[in-house]
Amino acid sequence: MQYENVIFPDSVGFQCTNCGVCCRDEPPDINLKEQQRIEAKGFVNFLEDPKDPSNRNIRRKKDGSCFFLTEENTCKIHDVKPSICILEPFIITDYDNKTNRIFVDLNPLAVINCKGICTGELIVPEVIGKAAQTIVKEFLEIVAKKTGLPVTDKKVSSLTRKLLLRF
């Protein structure tokens, strides 16, 4: 299946059941833009280590769950939810920086824990596809800024691919 430049695995059914398991397992690592969007909503003190600019993990509550997870398993920052959370239970497995194609597949950890996989529902490729596109776009912008090169530079897209594969 394909949505614009995002390639999905075939025949994957998924619909989030809002079980909150992924929000308990692993609060996300966010980028600066995502941090700023969350702060613009009035939230403060949500990072694991606010003094370390290289660590943008959202902190856990005492019970280990994400700082933004409510008791009803909803997300307090739904409107500005990090793209990696929207992408869940999928992950980017590759980015072809020559053709600008983004490959997504199920997160192997989610296959075990996510209750929304194989519910018989078809995925909504626009939502997941747009989240994957946003992740790649923001990585490209971050790398371009750090290297001082234009976002369209081949070196930027090649470095972005390496970063994404480590992410």
Q: What is the DSSP letter of 78?
A: G
- The residue (of 91 and 140) whose beta carbon lies closer to ligand SF4 is 91
User: What is the token pair recorded at 4?
Assistant: 């614009």
Binding mask 32-71 toward ligand SF4 (x if CB under 6 A, else -) reads --------------------------x-------x-xx--
Residue type, 36: Q
Please report the sign of the dihedral spanned by the C-alpha atoms of residue 104, residue 60, residue 55, residue 42.
positive
- The residue (of 87 and 144) whose beta carbon lies closer to ligand SF4 is 87
Question: Collapsing DSSP states into helix, strand and coil, what is residue 119?
Answer: strand
Task: Return the number of other C-beta atoms located less than 10 Å from residue 36's C-beta.
Answer: 11
As measured in angstroms, the least distance from the Cβ of 164 to ligand SF4 is: 19
- With contacts defined by CB under 6 A, how many residues of the chain interact with ligand SF4? 25
Helix (H) or strand (E) holding 21: helix 21-25
As measured in angstroms, the least distance from the Cβ of 4 to ligand SF4 is: 22
Q: Residue 158 burial (CB < 10 Å; 0-12/13-18/19+)?
A: middle
**In this chain, which of 20, 31, 34, 106 binds ligand SF4, going by CB under 6 A?**
20
Q: Which of residues 68-127 bind ligand SF4 (CB under 6 A)?
A: 68-69, 75, 77, 81-82, 85, 88-89, 113-116
Question: Collapsing DSSP states into helix, strand and coil, what is residue 72?
Answer: coil
- The residue (of 3 and 14) whose beta carbon lies closer to ligand SF4 is 14
Give the footprint of ligand SF4 on this chain (CB under 6 A): 16-23, 27-28, 58, 66, 68-69, 75, 77, 81-82, 85, 88-89, 113-116
